[in-house]
Amino acid sequence: MPTIGWFEILIVVAIAIVVLGPKDFPIMLKKVGSWIGTAKRYVNNVQNEVSNINIDENDIKEEKEKKNNDQ
């Protein structure tokens, strides 16, 4: 997988400033930051839900084992 270094980021920023203009560039950065934050929150929520499902499944297995051992 290719890595992105500082030089590549600098080139992308320079092109974005030329294309968008220096006036609209900060507005676009704010929007992109907001999108990234929303995506991170969504991924964290999905990870938490999957963890909760795994915990619930483990609890159910333990309860079944207890019932089988008690009988």
Distance CA 66, CA 69 (A): 5
What token pair was written down for 52? 């909760």
Question: Between 17 and 55, where is the model more confident?
Answer: 17
Q: For residues 43 and 51, is the Cβ–Cβ distance under 8 A?
A: no
Q: Tell me: the pLDDT tens digits for 28-67?
A: 999 999 999 999 999 999 998 888 887 777 777 777 777 7
Q: Which residues contact 17 (CB under 8 A, 6 or more apart)?
A: 25
Cα angle, residue 2 at apex, residues 39 and 16 outer, rounded to 5°? 60
Q: Which residue has the tokens 């999905």?
A: 46
pTM: 0.59
User: Per-residue confidence at 71, pLDDT binned at 50, 70, 90?
Assistant: low
